[in-house]
Structure 1
Amino acid sequence: MDIHYDHPAPAHDIPPEFIVSRLKKPAGRVSAVLDTDPFNEVDDQFALAYILRSPERIDLQAIYAAPFHNEKVASAAEGMERSYQETHRILALMGREGDCGQMVYRGSDRFLADEETPVDSSAARDLVARAMARPDGDPLYVIAIGAITNVASALLIEPAIARKVVVLWLGGHALEWFNTKEFNMLQDVAAARVLLGCGVPVVLFPCNGVVSALTTTGPEIEHWLRGKNQLCDYLCDITREEAERNRQGPFWSRTIWDVAPVAWLLEMDCTEARLEPAPIPSYDGYYSICPCNHPILYVYSVRRDRIIGDLYTKLAR
């Protein structure tokens, strides 16, 4: 692995002990928002449904559509808009149509141009408002499972929210992986550098090498989900379609790693984590490593069977 020592420009004055205290897994019910790009793949839909099926633990207050750009859409703006519409579809399938206009927000229509200039959006502004309204001892949990543009923009608009939120981000690869060219991180490296460089408490869920263990197969989803309800049938269909689109053949599996940050918040022993100095992603696809960086909580292992079992049991209700 190439090691670099460049760092993002903004400094922060958040004491390490404050960050560490915020990185302890919370007890009881928590307030949360979800930042997501569900039109990109299929795992976001599973994650959104998982949250809504866990109301005893997670009070979901808002959903932000995140930008993405790949062969499915012509631009990051279209990726965000299609994700906004897909979020509405999932809520409708769960009988939550009435929540669409109250809790779903359009996010950034482009990625950050640099590490100082936010992309203004309804999502970023709502996150700032909700975070600043939180009591000092009761942070808002930001479950982020796409490019981190919306969250980074909110941090740039109002840096004080770094003391009001805890960000659970699925992005990058394991520290031991040969690079960090993961989709969420690669889409907006500037935003990732803002997030990991500003001192906001972050729980990091790396993709390859860690949460890549959260796979499912066609026979498994057909057995546990097919015919249970409209939502489950839809999830079965889109997961199979995604496998076919990627030409995976008859013996396919799909990674639904976006459920990992949700599972971490639930009251079950399903992850292992340790404190690490914040790894700063560089623009050439590697991490900048400095032991003096502020701490983050780094998830290095997930218990696949426990998480998938809880997920499918709740979805099939």
Structure 2
Amino acid sequence: MEGKKKNLAESGNEINTAELLKRLEHPSGRVDVVLDTDTFNEIDDQFALAYLICSKEKLDLQAVYAAPFSNEKAKDPAEGMEKSYQEILHILTLMERDDLKPAVYRGSTSFLSSETEPVLSEAAKDLAERAMKYTKEKPLYVVSIGAITNIASALLLKPEIRERMVVVWLGGHSLHWPDTREFNMEHDVAAARIIFGCGVALVQLPCAGVVSEFATSGPELEYHLRGKNKLCDYLVDLTKSEAEKYAKGKAWTRIIWDVTAVAWLLDGDFEEDYLVHSPIPGYDNHYVLDPQRHFIRYVYHVKRDSLFTDLFAKLGRS
């Protein structure tokens, strides 16, 4: 406890383990999904958003939340969130899915200042309300591919939703990596500590050491996507343009990180995972491991060729 407010980052062991393990199983049948994305930050969020929409046989997209970020593309989290919001709309335009635009919500304009105070936003409030419509037996699936501020804020607003949703997060590095200085986690360690600590059903896709193997090249993108549709041409041009900024004529591959988070929900043979005790993200950019902690599901391998085959086929038909 901190004052009168419960610290969710320390409450995971209060949850029913059997029920948690049930929610951590791969979902069967078609499921409801929301996507939390810092879409303007890189080039991979665009692929992930389109892939999710194209996987309608399994995933029923309910809402999209714009996540905050800051780097050379955005001077602060508020600008990063707004640029992401606009990029989400742009992808929907390219896919001729204007029907989804009313379900796009602006997210946090800052990162968490503590582990007990939410950042209020349309996205956090929508998730807090939306998740309450689900149950332990039929949860809402939350795919997060940016700083997890919006999700943590929703949990702080309404802690009861932790048993009504499953969070699939691309964040942090692999457990054997020497640090946790990964973009999504490092932006908001307080939010990450809430997600790893509160007992929500969590599937982690670590970046360096796991998802880092999911890379493609310019010639491969040209071969599989060029000329298929407006979206595909945009994704090829965007990826090649960004890659050339750092490659400058040299050979390059580009990791399409965020697609892997969507893929975990699908029925294809794309990834391998197992249960681990939830690590504690530290403010010193290292994990603390405690075998008494509750379980999360941890992806340790991505089947690169299988997943790219499915991704390219679906985007080409969009």
Q: Considering the TM-score relative to the shorter chain, is it more than 0.5?
A: yes
After superposing the two structures, state which structure 1 stretch, 13-22 or 33-42, moved more: 13-22
Alpha-carbon distance in 1 for matches of 2:172, 2:248: 24
In the alignment, the residues of structure 1 paired with residue 9 and residue 69 of structure 2 have an alpha-carbon distance, to the nearest angstrom, of: 25
Superposition deviation, residue 248 in structure 1: 4.9
Contact kept in structure 1, 2:66 and 2:107, CA below 8 Å: yes
Distance 1:128 1:8, change over 3 A: closer
SS in 1 for 2:176: coil
Q: Structure 1, residues 222-260: CA drift from partner, whole Å, max 9, x if none?
A: 110010000000000110111022235341110001011
**Structure 1 Cα separation of the partners of residues 253 and 9 of structure 2:** 41
- What is the DSSP-based 3-state SS (H/G/I as helix, E as strand, rest coil) of the residue aligned with 1:224? helix
The one-letter amino acid paired with 2:252 is: W
Instruction: Determine helix, strand or coil for the equivalent of 1:316.
Output: helix
Percent identity for Structure 1 against Structure 2? 56
Is residue 173 of structure 2 the alignment partner of residue 173 of structure 1? yes
Question: 1:16 is matched with which residue?
Answer: 17
Matching residue's letter, 1:180: T
1:175 is paired with a residue whose SS is: coil
Look up the equivalent residue of 2:66 and give its one-letter code: A
Which residue number corresponds to residue 230 of structure 1? Answer: 230
1:3 matched residue in structure 2:
none
**Alignment correspondent of 1:69:** 70
Structure 1 counterpart SS, 2:292: coil
Instruction: Report what 2:213 is aligned to.
Output: 213
Query: Relative to structure 1, is the Cα distance of residues 8 and 32 closer, same or farther in structure 2, using a 3 angstrom cutoff?
Result: closer
Please give the alpha-carbon distance, in whole angstroms, between the structure 1 residues aligned to 2:186 and 2:197.
16
TM-score (norm 1): 0.96
| Alignment check: 8 A CA contact 2:81 2:106 kept | yes
1:18 positional shift: 1.4
Contact 2:9 2:196 in 1 (8 A): no
CA distance 1:135–1:289, shift in 2 (3 Å): closer
Which residue number corresponds to residue 139 of structure 1? 139
What's the secondary structure of 2:249's corresponding residue? coil
* Inter-CA distance 132–9: structure 2 relative to 1 (3 Å threshold): closer
1:189 aligns with 2:184: no
Name structure 2 gaps, 5 residues minimum. Answer: 1-6
Residues 136 and 175 of structure 1: CA distance in aligned 2, closer, same or farther (over 3 Å): closer
Moved more, 130-139 or 283-292: 130-139
Say whether residues 1:304 and 2:290 are aligned partners.
no
| Counterpart for residue 4 of structure 1 | none
Amino acid at match of 2:216: T
On the 8 A contact 2:136/2:165 being kept in 1, the answer is: no
C-alpha distance in 1, partners of 2:110/2:249?
34
Q: Which amino acid aligns with 1:126?
A: D
Contact kept in structure 1, 2:64 and 2:105, CA below 8 Å: yes
> Which amino acid letter does the alignment assign opposite residue 79 of structure 1?
G
Q: Is the 8 A contact 2:274 2:299 kept in 1?
A: yes
> Which residue type is aligned with residue 186 of structure 1?
E
Structure 1 partner of 2:3: none
User: Is there any run of 5+ residues in structure 1 with no aligned partner, and where?
Assistant: 1-6
RMSD (Å) for aligned C-alpha atoms = 1.2
The separation in 2 between residues aligned to 1:258 and 1:35, in whole angstroms, is 11
Q: TM-score, normalised by structure 2?
A: 0.95
2:120 counterpart SS class = coil
Report how far residue 86 of structure 1 moved. Answer: 0.1
Amino acid at match of 1:216: T
* Paired residue type of 2:288: S
Written as runs of structure 1 = structure 2, the 5 A alignment for 1:107-118 is 107-118=107-118
Corresponding residue for residue 28 of structure 1: 29
- CA distance in 2 between counterparts of 1:132 and 1:249 reads 51
Amino acid at match of 1:202: L
CA–CA distance in structure 2, aligned partners of residues 191 and 66 of structure 1: 12
**257-266 vs 200-209, greater mean Cα deviation:** 257-266
295-304 or 262-271, which moves further after superposition?
262-271
Aligned equivalents of 2:9 and 2:245: distance in 1?
41
- In 2, Cα distance between the equivalents of 1:135 and 1:211? 30
Deviates more, 1:115-124 or 1:245-254: 245-254
Instruction: State how far apart, in whole Å, the 2-side matches of 1:136 and 1:193 are.
Output: 22
Q: CA deviation at 1:8?
A: 7.2
Aligned amino acid, residue 203 of structure 1: V
